[in-house]
Copies of this chain bind each other. A is one copy, B any other.
Amino acid sequence: MPEQTAGSSRPTLEAVAARAGVSRATVSRVVNGGAGVRQALVDKVREAVEELGYVPNHAARSLVTRRHGAVAVIIAEPEFRIFSDPFFEQQVRGISRELTAHDAQLVLLWVEGPGDHGRIARYLDGGHVDGALAFSLHSDDRLPALIARSSVPTVFGGRPAVGSGPAVPYVDCDNRGGARQAVRHLVDLGRRRIAHLAGPRDQTSALDRIAGYHDVLVDADPELLCQGDFTRESGARAMAELLDRRPDVDAVFASNDLMAAGALRTLRERGIRVPEDIAVVGFDDMDSVVRDTEPALTTVRQDIEGMGRLMVRLLMRVLDGAADAASASVITSTSLVRRASA
């Protein structure tokens, strides 16, 4: 960072105190809520603050309070999926809103590459932020462990893989229960050869959804389980492979909406009717995906923005000491949204 251009030096507490004819301590009290100060003085100080355009110096304040009023959001996804998977957009929006409500700032930390974890750890340990929010990613990711080892309280979005480090609080939706809802719906429609387009095996959300699929279809034919990676392309490809292998399939539960959209593309290309020939259910209820599918996608809805907000609330409780790491995680419920595709 370059030098700061010499900004006009702003008024200090001292100046306000002089103007109002009181001491620094009194001004400080007023600025921080005014408890225990006579109303007349409060007014006088407020006036002086107004006239001088006083704004507290944040660095000085946090030097003594050891609080920063800022929370880091750590994004460790490989670049291509970051925001294009609208998941993050919504989650970050919820986080941003809730942080604003708590009068805290959002500092975005973006992992630039595999060698970049050190920078993140250093930043967290540097005492810039009061807490951190991170997204649980791949089970082989070093990040959760690194973060947990840092001195900064952290809440995860998505359940971290078991064994990826010490217990950390997280917010996640009921992936397994949601998957059960989806598959039961297909069963209720009378479908009998229900396939699952699974998400990547190193993410707990994908694994939980597979587990939910098996909860309902205990004896599911392994041939009906196809591997994808949460991208639209992988959904299209997995669907194609599935059709080649098992042309008799009559329903598909995709692990997310993007893969479901890919599957729909393949089905359309092959002239297979949805839902008449094959019913399709997604997961997420991603507005920007669901809006454009043909036919409209039946899917499992999770409240992603709400989860973002919950992450912040949970973090605040941890910072307050009102919640502790191991026991405080939050699981949100899902609901099936019925549209045309199933």
Q: Which residues in A have some Cβ–Cβ distance to B below 8 Å? A: 1-5, 7-8, 10, 55-60, 62-63, 65-70, 73, 79, 82-84, 86, 88-89, 92-93, 96-97, 100, 102-110, 112, 116, 119, 122-123, 125-128, 130, 151, 153, 232, 288, 292, 316-321
Contacts and interface: CB of A to CB of B under 8 A. Distances in A.
A268 to B, nearest CB: 11
A314 to B, nearest CB: 12
State the 7 A-B residue pairs at the shortest beta-carbon distance, nearest first.
A83-B89, A2-B320, A83-B83, A59-B63, A96-B110, A59-B62, A2-B319
Q: Which one of A70, A127, A130, A317 has the highest number of Cβ atoms from chain B below 10 Å of its Cβ? A: A127
B67 A4 contact: yes
A107 B105 contact: yes
A177 to B, nearest CB: 28
Contact of A319 (B3, B63, B97): B3
B63 A60 contact: yes
A316 B105 CA distance: 22
B83 A97 contact: no
Given A55-B122, A105-B107, A108-B106, A319 B82 contact: no
A302 B203 CA distance: 35
B8 A151 contact: yes
Contacts of A103: 1
Given A1-B316, A5-B321, 9 more contacts: A2-B320, A3-B320, A3-B321, A4-B67, A10-B151, A82-B93, A83-B88, A97-B112, A100-B112
B4 A319 contact: yes
Contacts of A69: 1
A58 B127 contact: yes
Contacts of A10: 125, 127, 151
Nearest to A69: B1
A191 B187 CA distance: 54
Contacts of A62: 59
B67 A102 contact: no
Contact of A1 (B56, B89, B119, B319): B319
A82, A97, A103 interface centre (most CB from chain B within 10 Å): A82
Given A7-B151, A83-B86, A84-B89, A108 B108 contact: yes
A1 B126 contact: no
Contacts of A63: 57, 59-60, 63
10 contacts: A1-B104, A1-B316, A2-B317, A3-B321, A5-B319, A10-B125, A82-B93, A97-B110, A100-B110, A105-B107
